[in-house]
Structure 1
């Protein structure tokens, strides 16, 4: 995925990508890239693509039973890794409540599969320090010797504390999100300091936070997200609720409180419509406007037959109206461009 020196960079962010269970079964008789459905070409055309990987990549392990955990998601890396690689996934978050669904063996297989494929990740690791380590992604320009855009990505979760990594044990970058808790601010602030030392042009903090099927972020999440921006984060990239939440422009940063679902096999709530979501495309300036947030484009999507696709006209209108309603309380006003929403950030 590359761009020219005179074009803006287009960085895509999705909701949860869950490739296990029925998705994994469905993929046994179709090509790896079929999981991207009619969004395949749109994803391939991005300059970078970032996803929350809501499963482990393995054929080993046994379901987690050390605490109550009703759902277990595992995808066969034989097809899942080619699917991620072919569409150009640049980075994945592993800070979520499903990477240890099949225990340490499957988590270690996940690390190995991503490492072998050259896909950077954050949010889980063999030790606590490694789980909290940010990743760096370089978005290159065709024909250039040096990267044109350097993105640092930190991933954290407040889900499933029993999955937290320890000094010598694998797991996730877990923290109880509370902007009033000095320990929370200290831990996250220290990780952000490590990210800044990567000298990024763009700093992203991915948060897998909060309960399922909640349409609006609680006040403490809003305060925490704004604290992140005040601490130098350019994009707060939220997910976990399985439904999209509002978008806020705050200071020089952008907050996606929850990006919903992108690929899964979940039952669909008739009112909340967790099968409907968006591809969030952040346009970042290059050339004379180097590394400036220019716009956010929201492309309506739908999950159907264990794959993601573009929505029809009526579903797109529903998603647009819902996103506008949810974002209005943050003072966010979108423009409509065909079936998509656009938020100008450089005005």
Structure 2
């Protein structure tokens, strides 16, 4: 982690949607993987780069490791979050044995400095791409990230390690604990579930009260005073804005019963609603942040090229949300750019519509960001 300073109260976190550094993005980095794919749509990862170039213009290769983060780096430098957490939807491996499924994401282990270039502290791995290249690929992913001193959550050598939180120390005795899990409706097969003597991901059996009680026991086993608890959930389908009553009830129970401070949801390829419940943050779907979909048609009405950088400000003493700002982004030429003009206005309108259903108001904030208000602070 970066140098630690005295912890102010409150503490700022950085969260974002899915980060897919495989396929086309891996191909433009200094150490591209062997590009052969096992998809019906494409047979080579290089073709995804060609699609992006046809849509947006040439990309000189190889790019430097920070390139893909683009304008996100300036936003991170400006806000200086204490902890930076992403959902890494990519296996980091040299394995050439794909799991028999439709799409496989792989980044070469020598490209891990790309993740470090953004100062990422924790990669959550409970998702439907981390075992794309088999359990051998998972083992190499875990090792590659840990050698880079990047913490992981949601996958491991067995169930106990997959359920264990990433522990991110701050100044003094305060910490951020990051737990991560996935559900079957996000595309995680049952065979990927970690077991007592089997590697894999932390896969939830359901969203029942019983499941929450098990999560609560895990949280309480690790939690200390002044810990901020983030629970990452890879759940739901890729498209659509609906939040099911079951999902909402589960998110509320995580807060009420398990003592979670931030519910960090993802899987949807576009941003979904935000809810502030009991002064705790619920992100139902953070959307994609980095992908290689540029130039691919289909589902255009959801604008999967647009994303958000989420900067919640949490009271470390109470876990309550004090502020929330969102920086709108757009993937262009396989890098993150600030979303501006019509793109920015489109995203703001969607957020106002979806978050308004949950009592949140999204407005223009400082420095081109969006500000989220709730409760008595909303208009």
Q: Provide TM-score, normalisation by structure 1.
A: 0.90
Distance 1:191 1:220 in 2: 21
Which residue pairs with 2:12 in the alignment?
10
Deviates more, 1:337-346 or 1:294-303: 337-346
Task: Pick one of 19, 22, 25 that aligns with 2:24.
Answer: 22
SS of residue in 1 equivalent to 2:243:
coil
CA contact 2:181–2:204 (8 Å) conserved in 1: yes
Q: 1:278 to 1:225 in 2, by over 3 A?
A: same
Distance 2:96 2:195 in 1: 20
RMSD: 2.0
Which residue pairs with 1:300 in the alignment?
328
Distance 1:341 1:223 in 2: 27
SS of residue in 2 equivalent to 1:32:
coil
Task: Pick one of 28, 32, 35 that aligns with 2:65.
Answer: 32
CA contact 1:61–1:105 (8 Å) conserved in 2: no
Matched, 1:191 2:218: yes
Q: CA deviation at 1:308?
A: 1.5
Distance 1:228 1:322 in 2: 26
Matched, 1:221 2:247: yes
Q: Where do 4+ consecutive residues of structure 1 move more than 4 Å?
A: 1-8, 289-292, 344-347
Matched, 1:275 2:302: no
CA contact 2:325–2:365 (8 Å) conserved in 1: no
Task: Pick one of 97, 100, 116 that aligns with 2:128.
Answer: 97
SS of residue in 2 equivalent to 1:35:
helix
Q: CA deviation at 1:332?
A: 1.0
Q: 1:177 to 1:342 in 2, by over 3 A?
A: farther
Distance 1:280 1:204 in 2: 13
Which residue pairs with 2:46 in the alignment?
none
Distance 1:297 1:207 in 2: 21
Which residue pairs with 2:281 in the alignment?
254
Q: CA deviation at 1:162?
A: 2.0
CA contact 1:94–1:122 (8 Å) conserved in 2: yes
Task: Pick one of 323, 340, 345 that aligns with 1:317.
Answer: 345
CA contact 1:61–1:103 (8 Å) conserved in 2: no
Which residue pairs with 1:244 in the alignment?
271
Task: Pick one of 73, 76, 98 that aligns with 1:63.
Answer: 98
Distance 2:149 2:373 in 1: 33
Q: CA deviation at 1:58?
A: 1.1
Which residue pairs with 2:175 in the alignment?
150
Distance 2:7 2:175 in 1: 14
Distance 2:5 2:354 in 1: 33
Distance 2:253 2:214 in 1: 13
Which residue pairs with 1:176 in the alignment?
205
Which residue pairs with 1:163 in the alignment?
192
Deviates more, 1:266-275 or 1:4-13: 4-13
Q: 1:8 to 1:187 in 2, by over 3 A?
A: closer
Matched, 1:284 2:311: no
Q: CA deviation at 1:293?
A: 2.4
Which residue pairs with 2:233 in the alignment?
207
Q: CA deviation at 1:292?
A: 4.5
Deviates more, 1:163-172 or 1:199-208: 199-208
CA contact 1:61–1:104 (8 Å) conserved in 2: no
Distance 2:222 2:231 in 1: 10
Q: CA deviation at 1:301?
A: 0.7
Q: CA deviation at 1:200?
A: 4.8
SS of residue in 1 equivalent to 2:129:
coil
- For structure 1, the 5+ residue unaligned runs are 141-145
SS of residue in 1 equivalent to 2:238:
coil
CA contact 2:279–2:320 (8 Å) conserved in 1: no
Distance 1:155 1:247 in 2: 19
Distance 2:195 2:254 in 1: 24
SS of residue in 1 equivalent to 2:360:
coil
Q: 1:340 to 1:92 in 2, by over 3 A?
A: same
CA contact 2:183–2:204 (8 Å) conserved in 1: yes
Q: Provide TM-score, normalisation by structure 2.
A: 0.82
Which residue pairs with 1:143 in the alignment?
none
